[in-house]
A and B are shown apart, each in its own frame.
Chain A
Amino acid sequence: MTIVQFILVGAAMFSMGLYGVITRKNAVLILASVELMLAAVNINMVAFDVHLADQLHSGQIFSLFIIALAAAEVGIGIAIILMIFRNRQSADVDELNLMKG
């Protein structure tokens, strides 16, 4: 196994996540795309951890932190989307133009 194969998969997933964040209108799907990007970062973290044979396994520890923070982010994100939906009857980010001048 080479290191670059894992990094390329991670880079491709990250780019697709970016594409999703830009093109999606539905707030839940934007969150899903962000999750995709975080998962791609995790692949890089673990691949480099194994590649560098780190005694402390810092890469794996960091990926655990990323997973925990991603879970918190989704929880808060869904709660915010829910609140926006209550006020605006829509989860479409294009309709959130209250602050538009």
Chain B
Amino acid sequence: MPLFAVTVTVSEWFSEVANWMFLLIALPTLVGAWRTVTSNNIVRAVLYLVVSLAGTAAMFLMLGAAFVGWTVVLVYIGAVIILFLIGIMITRAPLGTDSDLSHNREVKTSAGLLSIVLFAVMALAMWDAFGMAMIEPFEPTPTSDLANTLFSRFVIPFEVVSFVLLAALIGGIALARKDDEGGER
């Protein structure tokens, strides 16, 4: 029994403007992801990650998940990328083009083969399960709905995540600070 009966043909899919918008978002996302894992310039690789993450945020907005989308913008693009750039600068990685960021050709070939097989398996399974099933028409998710669920049904996981963040904060400081013996702490 198919979960959702409403399907579209490929030509119907291309006649919808929202799908062209989707392609406009998806292509930079995938190109950004590809350049993130292949670029020979370490700073550029991280900046391509920004493109990719911005694409995912835009997809969340397309799906009506505004709160998650803007959280991605704030947390990933705002904070995590800065952390990456600081990490690059502190570890004094060569800032120009560097051919020593990736493994040699054999590793690349086998990794590429593995990724392609993984993608093929996932794509075929999903195509088999859903085909061209449409997403039912939906309203954008109100943030108040998310908040109500988060602070009622999911309040214990929420507190656990808060504790994990606190532990990560303390652990990060404890790991990263200099242990100079005899000096003042």
Q: Which residues of A contact B (CB under 8 A)?
A: 1-9, 11-20, 22-29, 31-33, 35-36, 39-40, 42-43, 46-47, 49-51, 53, 56-58, 60-61, 63-65, 67-76, 78-83, 85-86, 91-92
- Given contact pairs A4-B127, A28-B93, A78-B83, A50 touches B59 in the complex (Cβ within 8 A): no
Q: In the assembly, what is the distance between CA of A61 and CA of B80, in Å?
A: 20
A74–B85 alpha-carbon span in the complex (Å): 12
Verify A53–B138 contact, CB threshold 8 A.
yes
**Interface residues of chain A: helix, strand, loop or mixed (majority):** helix
Which chain B residues have a beta carbon within 8 Å of chain A's beta carbons? 4, 8, 13, 16, 18-19, 22, 26, 29-30, 33-34, 36-37, 42, 45-46, 49, 52-53, 56, 59-60, 62-65, 67-68, 71-72, 75-76, 79-80, 83-84, 86-88, 90-93, 100-103, 107-108, 110-112, 114-116, 118-119, 122-123, 126-127, 130-136, 138, 141, 145-146, 149-150, 153-154, 157, 161, 164-165, 167-169, 171-173, 175-176, 178
Could you tell me if A76 and B168 are in contact, using CB atoms closer than 8 angstroms? Answer: yes
Question: Knowing A6-B63, A47-B63 touch, does A61 contact B91 (C-beta < 8 A)?
Answer: no
The answer to whether B42 touches A1 (Cβ under 8 A) is: no
- In the assembly, what is the distance between CA of A63 and CA of B134, in Å? 22
Cβ contact within 8 Å between B134 and A2:
yes
Report yes or no: A43 in contact with B56, Cβ–Cβ below 8 A.
Answer: yes
Kindly list chain B residues whose C-beta atoms are within 8 Å of the C-beta of A57.
Answer: 141, 145-146, 149
- What distance in Å separates the Cβ of A28 from its nearest Cβ neighbour in chain B? 5
Q: Which B residues are CB-close (under 8 A) to A20?
A: 36-37
Contacts of A31 in B (CB 8 A): 84, 87
* Interface contact A46-B30, CB-CB below 8 Å: no
- Shortest CB-to-CB span from A30 to chain B, Å, is 10
The 9 closest A-B pairs by CB, nearest first: A20-B37, A72-B168, A22-B111, A79-B175, A15-B119, A15-B115, A91-B91, A11-B122, A19-B115
Number of A-B contacts (CB under 8 A): 251
User: In the complex, which residue of chain A has the Cβ closest to the Cβ of B105?
Assistant: A23
A36-B37 contact, Cβ under 8 Å, with A16-B115, A57-B146, A76-B175:
yes
Chain B proximity of A87: nearest CB distance (Å):
11
Q: Are A67 and B45 in contact (CB under 8 A)?
A: no
- Assess whether A28 is in contact with B87, with CB atoms less than 8 Å apart: yes
Q: Which of B36, B42, B110, B149 contacts A61 (CB 8 A)?
A: B149
Chain B residue with minimal CB distance to A92?
A: B100
User: Which of B37, B68, B93, B153 meets A60, CB within 8 Å?
Assistant: B68
